[in-house]
Amino acid sequence: MSITIANLDFLFDWRPYQAKVLENFSIHINDNHFHIVAPPGSGKTILGIEIVKRIGKKTLVLAPTLTIRNQWEDRLQNFFTTDCNFTQISFDIKHPSDITFSTYQALHSFYKSFETKEAYYNFFKKHQIEVLLLDEAHHLKNAWWKCLFDLKEQHLQTVVALTATPPYDSENAEIQKYFKLCGEIDDEIVVPDLVKEHNLCPHQDVVFLSKPEDQEINFITHFRLKIAEFVADILNDTEFISFLKQHRFYAKTEENLEEIYKDTDFFSSLLIFLHEAKETIPFEKLEVLGFDTNETIEFPSITNEWIQILFQYLLVTDRNNLIEHEAYLDILEKRLRKLAVFSKNKVNLVGNDLLYKSLSNSPSKLKSITTIVQQEQHNLQDDLRCVILSDYIRKEYLNCSHSEIKEIKKLGVVPIFHHVRTALKNKNNVAVLTGSLVIIHSSTIAKLGLIDAIDNYNYTPLKSDTEFVILSNTNAAKRTIVETITQLFELGHIKVLVGTQSLLGEGWDAPSINSLILASVVGSFVTSNQMRGRAIRVDRKNPNKVGLIWHLACIDTSDESGGRDFEILARRFNAFLGISNDDEAIISNGIERLHLPSNFIDEDIQQQNNKTLELSKNRNLIAQRWKSAISNGKGIVKELTFYTKRNKQFPKQKRVYYQDIVKYTIGEIIIGLSFFIPEFIIRNLNILLHKGVVYFLFALLSTLGLTFGYKIYKSAQLYAYFGLIHKKIDKMATAVLKSLYTLNHVNTPLNEIKIETNLLAMGNVSCTIHGANRYESSLFIKALNELLQPIDNPKYLLIKSNWFRRKLKLHHFFPVPEIFGVRKKECQVFHSNWNKYLGSSKLVYTRTIEGRKLLLKARLFHIHNVNNKLTKKNIIWK
């Protein structure tokens, strides 16, 4: 006898973290969205089926592949029924049932089969399919997104989205589209929960650094010199300066205010460039932005980023409005193309893409890989199960001679294979597995016979090393070649496996992996996290498994921050939650937890690599640190870090961890006065005796003004900028929380919620919220983050200015967070709380002409203002 959706019943006990997600489900689904992030191994599919059951409506479940699609039906029958007797299912989208399992590609093909969109919508209405469940939602491509989003909007679908990794590093437009379809993240299952429940193994991310080779260093240096020469030339190019001054934004500013307010970045870059070129900016150009005659505008120095914005607008965005200058624009375009900084309608004077391509594919990484494999072979001996993932096969290097291997300048499966096999003393256990190339050692052939008949496979000796053979299977083979090689790897007959991330990065399952080297550079943030997931799964045959994930970065030694390759790696670490290298282990996201050098010089790179290799030797210590960190915390909290001066340390004090620039400056004045005043009295006692108290005080104040006046002025200015900055942020956080509570975005009683604000090293500030649920915490951190970000294009703006600030030429502009800016009523609630905790301010609606003027003024202040800071969202187990 079959059962209905409502009668599906989970046969086992929910894991604690799963139960917590389901506990909050009824609140999250109120907006017809349920968006959950959970790593591989957390039981996303099981949760998805339970959610479908609780919604109780006809559902279309979409997966990226047929394999994953089939897993849904398998989990439903085996975890929710006793006799696999749920029959209201379909795998054919054309003939749906209560639950229909399909793929994104199949839905898109189905969508295109309709003559009109209305017919497509009507199909779902006719069959009463009201729920869309999106599995591995990060796979959504643009075409797939369109047919899903239209359906959601027209048919008012409920959307349930499950993913291991939201596509945070996609283009901003793509990220917005993703969240527009899936909704904001409602809940998250995090790695510590899974390690605690022994569903994931203890692990550590390690970064191995390399230096560019001479050829790459020369390329980077030459590129930067070319750009520097171009910038110097263009700043002295009278024809270009004249051309800019003829632009309607500059020549007829007042007539084009509406357009200027829409393109503030370009107008800012125009003014900054002309100022750098020693042109006097007439005050009327600034007056329209709301500046007064007594205000001094401190223009920032020109940077490649500003010149990039300038040329992007002239050569692409605004080109249709500059037809009469087309001949001159064509000359400018050719100059940029000659510099290789203009391609596909994009100006890139920073050279990010060009330099990243050079560093990310650096052959220096080949040496890094061999060093890592040698170390891991020494560390783990017979237990080693190492996988190296790359993007390209590079078959052209298949038959390289030994001497030619050293000359390979490209990263890929075959170059890695050659470097590893020639570097290892025991190369018998090395193999290659890709979709079109499989290589094993000849000694492994006999082991293959234990899994499948040897006659089912063909062998061709590898010309460059006849000890290895290229393997292919015949039609008679019982298994796919991927299954066979995977089994050989699991059994330990292969210990080092080199493959492509496209084949082995997602969906491939080999629980024995204990060392993963990510040599993929094409893979996105999503792909990186999926690949990383291969190494952190538990191995039931090895309960003491500890996984290491090796990340490679080629450092631009001319850039103290490490360059673009390291920057992208650091950004991806924001999604990796793991153990820190602190004395007291904590679990958090971000690359900061590894304590890598803050400035990259040659000595740092080698020293850091030695530390990393040393750390890899003691996997037991990593497991102990996970156990200790988990026991010291209760759950995940969201934290926002506010950076005051990222690269400039404040003056050193005895307590370096509690540095405060304001306290330091005031303290310096007090100490100075304590020495100065007694000495002045002793030296000028005769003035007091002969000329009287009034004359003496006049002399004292005059000398004080000359000696300490500037310091007192700077101290007052710094205090107006910073105050006790962590205290200010604490008040901002309180205003945000109280507003969220008043507007019913937070339902947890306020007396159960605590805001913790701390002053960190280098003057940075952290703000953490305790006691709120994950959804409320996310709303709080998001709102506070928006409040502290540089001004972009908020609907409402807060302006904090008084007589004292005006005299010091200071203005504070703050964007009203989006959640409070939807309607004026909500905005006024936030404004009221702001005034209560931070003093009076003016609320400005920026969608009027006057509001746009103030918005642009605010943005100009934030260009050079000390308030132009960055924030970082952190996740910490506490």
Got the DSSP string for 688-710? HHHHHHHHHHHHHHHHHHHHHHH
The whole model's pTM is what?
Answer: 0.79
Rounded to an integer, the average pLDDT of 290-309 is 77
Sign of CA dihedral 213, 215, 218, 224: negative
Rounded to an integer, the average pLDDT of 652-661 is 30
The two three-digit tokens of residue 127, written as one number: 């069959």
Dist. CA 725–CA 607, nearest whole Å: 36
Residue 320 has what DSSP assignment? G
- Residue 150 dihedral angles phi and psi, to the nearest 5°: -60, -40
Dist. CA 201–CA 547, nearest whole Å: 7
- The pLDDT tens digits of the residues spanning 2-47 come to 568 888 999 999 988 899 889 888 888 988 999 998 887 788 899 9
Domain 203-213+362-632: assigned CATH number: 3.40.50.300
- The pLDDT tens digits of the residues spanning 510-558 come to 899 999 999 987 655 566 677 788 789 899 899 999 999 999 999 988 7
**Any idea of the CA torsion for 148, 152, 154, 158, to the nearest 10 degrees?**
150
pLDDT of residue 754: 93
Highest mean pLDDT among 175-179, 356-360, 780-784: 780-784
Please enumerate in sequence order all residues whose Cβ is within 8 A of that of 659, keeping only pairs 6 or more positions apart, or say none: 649, 650, 651, 652, 653, 759, 761, 762, 763
Block residue for tokens 């090395």: 430
- The pLDDT tens digits of the residues spanning 586-624 come to 999 889 899 898 777 766 788 899 999 999 999 999 999
pLDDT of residue 383: 95
- The pLDDT tens digits of the residues spanning 84-103 come to 889 999 999 999 999 999 99
What is the topology classification, in CATH, of domain 5-189?
Rossmann fold (3.40.50)
CA 620 to chain centre: 30
The tally of CA atoms less than 13 A away on the side-chain side of residue 24 is: 22
Residue 207 has pLDDT above 50, yes or no: yes
Grade residue 722 by pLDDT with cuts at 50, 70 and 90. Answer: very low
Dist. CA 292–CA 294, nearest whole Å: 5
Residue pair 757/774 in contact (Cβ under 8 Å)? The answer is: no
pLDDT of residue 688: 54
Window from 232-236, 368-372, 578-582, 653-657 with minimum mean pLDDT: 653-657
How many other C-beta atoms are found inside a 10 Å radius of the C-beta of residue 232?
Answer: 10
Specify the long-range contacts of residues 448-453, CB closer than 8 Å, at least 24 apart.
448/484, 448/488, 450/491, 451/479, 451/484, 451/487, 451/488, 452/477, 452/478, 452/479, 452/484, 453/477, 453/478
CA 154 to chain centre: 33
Q: How far is CA 125 from CA 119, 120, 149, 152, 208, in A?
A: 10, 9, 15, 12, 55
The two three-digit tokens of residue 720, written as one number: 């107006």
Q: Where in the chain is the domain with CATH 3.40.50.300?
A: 5-189, 203-213+362-632
List the end-to-end C-alpha distance of the chain, in Å, as a whole number. Answer: 49
Residue pair 517/373 in contact (Cβ under 8 Å)? The answer is: yes
Q: Going edge to edge, which strands form the sheet with 496-500?
A: 203-210, 547-554, 515-519, 386-390, 496-500, 430-433, 438-441, 468-473, 457-461
Specify the long-range contacts of residues 311-318, CB closer than 8 Å, at least 24 apart.
311/336, 311/342, 311/347, 311/349, 312/346, 312/347, 313/263, 313/265, 313/266, 313/269, 315/342, 315/347, 316/345, 316/346, 316/347, 317/263, 317/266, 318/263, 318/266
